[in-house]
Amino acid sequence: MPSSFTRDDLTILSSIYPDATLSPTSICLSFPSNYFTPTLTCTADMSLDLQISSSTSYRKTGLDFSSFLLRHLRSLASDLTREADAELSGVVLELFQAADFACSDVFEELASDTGDLEDTGSSVPVSLDAPGENQQISVMYSHHIIAKSKLSLIKLLTRKLSLSGVMLKGWPGAIAVEGASASLDDFVAELKTLNWKHFVERGRIGTEGTPFFAAGFEVVDETKLFSGFVKGRGEGVGGEILALAFAL
């Protein structure tokens, strides 16, 4: 990639993003909302920086959105710049479009987020299956899992239903939980009542009475950590979980 934008690059970028601040070496664009304002700067050599205005609403997301988004954009930039016919303006446009979509996801979640959920002894039933009977692993996928209310509810349900497993929060989101078949039914049914951009149970894996996950529920924020966690429990079943979670 060149070290500076051409006049044509700047003309294209300014026509699509008239509010952006452009120079021969960088483009800077903000994504304002009623909650917080991320500002992304991209240089011609694909160096990326994201600044976020400090606010209560940003802290309410319960995650480091800046780190999530930068990891996502840097991975995307690496893929795009490897293409033989990659044009600088086209790569930058795709990066800013991806950032715009991610910001919109967060803003939508904040608009519907009800805050921390409390354990009120809700109507979610507790499974009566004996340990080791009808045990399965349910694998779920979501476009993203970022709302603090969803994260709280998921943790609450795993405790109530005696489920163990792991969740990947961020973009994308994935959940793999193990427990009694009836408890998994209740868990999935409860999550499907929430508002999601995309959420699906991809499938179930039988564990033949031998627990795959240790007791407890882990939350990670990187795909490689999710993959490492499930593969660390066993390559065979771990591979099946990843194949379902990410449609490999």
What is the per-residue pLDDT across 69-99, written as a single tens digit (0 to 9) for each?
888 888 888 888 887 677 888 888 888 988 8
pLDDT level of residue 120 (50, 70, 90 thresholds): very low
Do residues 162 and 186 make contact, with C-beta atoms less than 8 angstroms apart? no
pLDDT level of residue 162 (50, 70, 90 thresholds): very high
Q: Which two tokens stand for residue 203?
A: 């499938």
Report the candidate in 142, 133, 192 with the shortest Cα–Cα distance to residue 170.
142
37 and 75 inside one domain: yes
Do residues 156 and 149 make contact, with C-beta atoms less than 8 angstroms apart? no
81 and 168 inside one domain: no
Mean pLDDT within 87-115 = 79
Give the Cα-Cα-Cα angle 21, 25, 27 (nearest 5 degrees): 30
140 and 226 inside one domain: yes
Q: Give the span between the Cα atoms of 248 and 239, in whole angstroms.
A: 10
The DSSP bridge partners found for residue 204 are 138
Do residues 129 and 181 make contact, with C-beta atoms less than 8 angstroms apart? yes
Which pLDDT belongs to residue 3?
A: 77
165 and 221 inside one domain: yes
Alpha helices (H) along 82-203:
88-112, 148-160, 181-192
Q: What is the pTM of this model?
A: 0.72
193 and 146 inside one domain: yes
58 and 144 inside one domain: no
28 and 105 inside one domain: yes
User: For residue 118, is it within any domain?
Assistant: no
14 and 54 inside one domain: yes
Average pLDDT of every residue of the chain: 83
107 and 145 inside one domain: no
Which pLDDT belongs to residue 151?
A: 86
Q: Which residues constitute the domain of residue 52?
A: 7-112
Return the C-alpha torsion angle 30, 34, 36, 38, nearest 10: -20
